[in-house]
């Protein structure tokens, strides 16, 4: 039996592959991941899914060399209005290659820009349209965020680096904020992710409390976190049942899934969406810091406003006190004048004064006479003058 090195074996495979497949092929598949390297070359992965199970049945590394990529990327963007990115369904012209160190790959020579977005993006758009049609797409994001986010329910894989990063970020925050959290483990990758996360969210509602020093209190917020990965690893998050569950969830949900380039349906239905688990922790810490700053501002402003109010009231009292002597003097003059007027009116109505003016008062007995109808012929009446009285006997009446 011949003995060869791995390099020699791979070299023979390379020769066989390139001799047998020296043509170019138009291949369609979904771009599951891709990036441009420092030298301008584009590296990625093309996948094919089973239509019924949606599982990946084929993969291939792809390379687009820098000179070709500079031309194809611009043309593709002109034709589709979009940049080449993961999730797109591509139709590419490729040559099969095999490298001793890197193995099998497809070298892309051309891309048909008329091909539509890939299954992932198309399905994502269909889910979002259905959520909007159902009228629930904005339900969770319109929930009021509690003033303090101290009690946190976390949905994550317990062994994920992203979960550790999230917890460490909260624990080591520069403000010294204390948080109480509880992990609800879930599968965060692949087709089982949707059902697993829904199950975790249901358990949170069943518990809906976190143990604190003061006893059991409701969760303030739910955080769903996962680190980045290939787009195919995140396909489980593009699920209508999961998106609908989060959209209608009665507690605000923060989603921190993937890296800068990743976006799922959950980003559109959650209360707030951030790029990474670390960013989710930063979101919570920043929220607490804003509340703290507001409270500190109030702690300064309230005493200041109280002092200003007291000073203002003191000034008002002083002004009133300074005006009291003048006001009392004026009031005294007005009252004295009124008393004088009343005295004059009373004096003017005094019968003695009227008698001095030449008037007289005629009475019959104790009754003052006002009309001749009050007396009869022969009655004795008394007329009072200023000096003395006259007694008369009625002889006749006229009137």
- pLDDT tens sequence across 146-183: 988 999 999 999 988 889 999 999 999 888 888 999 99
pTM for this prediction? 0.55
pLDDT (0 to 100) of residue 341: 82
Q: Of 339, 373, 372, 368, which Cα lies nearest the Cα of 351?
A: 368
Residue 10 has pLDDT above 90, yes or no: no
Residue 281 falls inside a structural domain? yes
Residue 206 falls inside a structural domain? yes
Domain that holds residue 281: 122-291
Distances (CA, A) of 195 to 138, 183, 351: 22, 17, 111
Q: Give residue-wise pLDDT tens across range 258-270.
A: 755 557 899 999 9
Question: 140 and 266, same structural domain?
Answer: yes
pLDDT band at residue 80 under the 50/70/90 scheme: low
Q: Is 85 helix (H, G, I), strand (E, B) or coil?
A: coil
Distance CA 240, CA 271 (A): 17
Q: What is the CATH number of the domain that holds 159?
A: 3.40.50.2300
pLDDT (0 to 100) of residue 222: 96
Of 82-86, 290-294, 352-356, 369-373, the least confident:
352-356
Distance CA 138, CA 264 (A): 15
Instruction: Examine the fold and report which residue of 95, 117, 139 is the final residue of a domain before the chain moves on.
Output: 117
Strand order in the sheet with 253-257: 180-185, 151-156, 221-226, 253-257, 272-274
Residue 142 falls inside a structural domain? yes
Instruction: Examine the fold and report which residue of 97, 117, 137 is the final residue of a domain before the chain moves on.
Output: 117
Distance CA 285, CA 277 (A): 13
pLDDT above 90: percentage of residues in the chain: 34
Q: Of 74, 96, 87, which Cα lies nearest the Cα of 46?
A: 87
Residue 24 falls inside a structural domain? yes
pLDDT above 70: percentage of residues in the chain: 89
Question: 196 and 111, same structural domain?
Answer: no
Q: What is the CATH number of the domain that holds 22?
A: 2.40.50.140
Looking up tokens 């138009």, which residue turns up? 26
Residue 329 falls inside a structural domain? no
Q: At what angle do helices 240-247 and 193-207 cross, to 10 degrees?
A: 20
Handedness of CA 380, 384, 385, 390 (dihedral sign): positive
| Tally of domains in the chain | 3
pLDDT band at residue 225 under the 50/70/90 scheme: very high
Distances (CA, A) of 42 to 8, 37, 63, 70, 78: 28, 6, 6, 9, 18
Highest mean pLDDT among 6-20, 48-62, 374-388: 48-62
SS3 letters for 104-167? EEEEEEEECCCCCCCHHHHHHHHHHHHHHHCCCCCCHHHCCCCCCCCEEEEEECCCCHHHHHHH
Contact 223, 276 (CB under 8 A): no
Please state the rounded mean pLDDT for residues 112-119: 65
Q: Is 25 helix (H, G, I), strand (E, B) or coil?
A: strand
Q: Give residue-wise pLDDT tens across range 231-246.
A: 556 767 888 999 999 9
Residue 198 falls inside a structural domain? yes
Take residue 125 and report the two structure tokens written for it: 């758009």
Distance CA 56, CA 304 (A): 66
Residue 212 has pLDDT above 50, yes or no: no
């Amino acid at each position: 039996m011949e003995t060869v090195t791995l390099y020699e074996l791979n070299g023979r495979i390379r020769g066989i592959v390139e001799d047998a497949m020296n043509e170019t092929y138009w291949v369609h598949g979904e771009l599951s991941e891709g990036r441009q390297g420092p030298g301008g070359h584009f590296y990625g992965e093309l996948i094919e899914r089973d239509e019924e199970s949606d599982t990946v049945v084929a993969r291939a590394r792809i390379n687009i060399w820098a000179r070709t990529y500079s031309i194809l990327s611009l043309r593709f963007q002109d034709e589709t209005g979009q940049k080449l990115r993961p999730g797109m369904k591509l139709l590419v012209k490729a040559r099969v290659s095999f490298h001793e160190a890197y193995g099998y790959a497809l070298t892309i020579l051309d891309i048909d820009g008329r091909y539509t977005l890939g299954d992932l993006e198309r399905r994502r758009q269909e889910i979002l349209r259905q959520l909007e049609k159902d009228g629930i797409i904005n339900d969770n994001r319109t929930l009021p965020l509690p003033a303090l986010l101290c009690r946190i329910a976390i949905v994550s894989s317990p062994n994920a680096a992203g979960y550790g990063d999230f917890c460490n970020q909260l624990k080591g925050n520069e403000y010294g904020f204390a948080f109480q959290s509880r992990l609800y483990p879930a599968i965060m990758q692949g087709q089982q992710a949707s059902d697993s996360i829904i199950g975790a969210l249901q358990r949170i509602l069943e518990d809906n409390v976190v143990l604190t020093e003061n006893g059991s209190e409701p969760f303030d917020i739910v955080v769903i976190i996962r680190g980045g990965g290939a787009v195919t690893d995140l396909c489980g998050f593009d699920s209508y049942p999961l998106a609908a569950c989060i959209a209608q969830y009665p507690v605000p949900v923060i989603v921190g899934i993937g890296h800068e380039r990743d976006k799922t349906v959950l980003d559109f239905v959650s209360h707030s969406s951030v790029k990474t688990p670390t960013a989710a922790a930063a979101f919570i810490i920043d929220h607490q810091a804003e509340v703290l700053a507001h409270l500190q501002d109030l702690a300064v402003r309230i005493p200041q406003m109280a002092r200003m109010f007291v000073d203002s009231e003191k000034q008002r009292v002083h002004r009133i006190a300074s005006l009291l002597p003048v006001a009392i003097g004026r009031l005294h003059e007005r009252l004295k004048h009124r008393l004088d007027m009343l005295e004059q009116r009373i004096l003017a109505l005094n019968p003695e004064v009227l008698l001095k003016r030449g008037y007289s008062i005629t009475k019959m007995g104790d009754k003052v006479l006002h009309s001749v109808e009050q007396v009869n012929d022969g009655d004795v009446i008394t007329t009072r003058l200023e000096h003395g009285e006259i007694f008369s006997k009625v002889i006749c009446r006229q009137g």
